[in-house]
Amino acid sequence: MRLRSISLVLVFGAFVAIEPSSSGQAQTPAPAAAHAPRRTGGKTAPPQVAANLAQLMRAIMFPNSNVIFFAQGKDPADVKPKGDASMATDPLLGTFGGWAAVENSSLALSEAANLLTIPGRVCSNGQAVPVNNADWLTFVQGLRDAGLTAYQAAQSKSNDKMLDAAGVVTTACSNCHDRYRDKPGGLAARCK
């Protein structure tokens, strides 16, 4: 009896069995886009909104942008945890710290752009996020692209490339903030 070796890989919250090819190398799973959407009772489960726009920005966009901005002037490889890396609250000091943290934060920024298009999200003033506005969708795409630009720069492990990528991230954020956040009238005027 011949035993087969199977690796289990966690892909977006589900374990996927990976069997070695005839060469003995593990086969790469299909891209996430190739996987069928999660279905409940024959229907696709709708996305759900838990945070308002300001909470989403403070929880995901702001901290991940800060990791990207850090790498424009300092080498993330020089950041060393002072204790148990698995307990670190700073991504640069965590188990997946250093340049990996910059790559992960860049991808988080790009993926989180999708959260800006879910209907039902509101701004902190209660106004609906303008997910149907053409300029909103353009700004969201700009953020998505900026995250991918930062990811490519992080892969190079070059502070100079990160400086350029941080500029792209800043521009993507500013484009939307100028139109929807930083308006006369303050909080009451946001998202209009």
Distance CA 119, CA 48 (A): 9
Amino acid, res. 41:
G
Report pLDDT for 30: 42
Report pLDDT for 46: 82
Q: How far apart are the first and last CA of the chain?
A: 68
Distance CA 70, CA 163 (A): 9
- Residue 21: how many other CB atoms lie within 10 Å: 10
Amino acid, res. 174:
S
Report pLDDT for 144: 97
Report pLDDT for 187: 74
Apex 106 CA angle, 78 and 36, nearest 5: 135
φ, ψ dihedrals at 17, nearest 5°:
-80, 130
DSSP label at 17? E
43: β partners: 40
Report pLDDT for 92: 93
Amino acid, res. 61:
M
Domain ranges of the chain: 1-33, 53-189
Report pLDDT for 5: 43
- Contacting residues for 63 by C-beta, under 8 A, at least 6 apart: 91, 105
pLDDT per residue as tens, the chain (192 positions): 444 444 444 444 444 444 444 444 444 444 444 444 555 567 888 888 999 999 999 999 999 999 999 999 999 999 988 889 999 989 999 999 999 999 999 999 999 999 999 999 999 899 999 999 999 999 999 999 999 999 999 999 999 999 999 999 999 999 999 988 877 777 777 777
- Looking at domain 53-189, its CATH class is mainly alpha
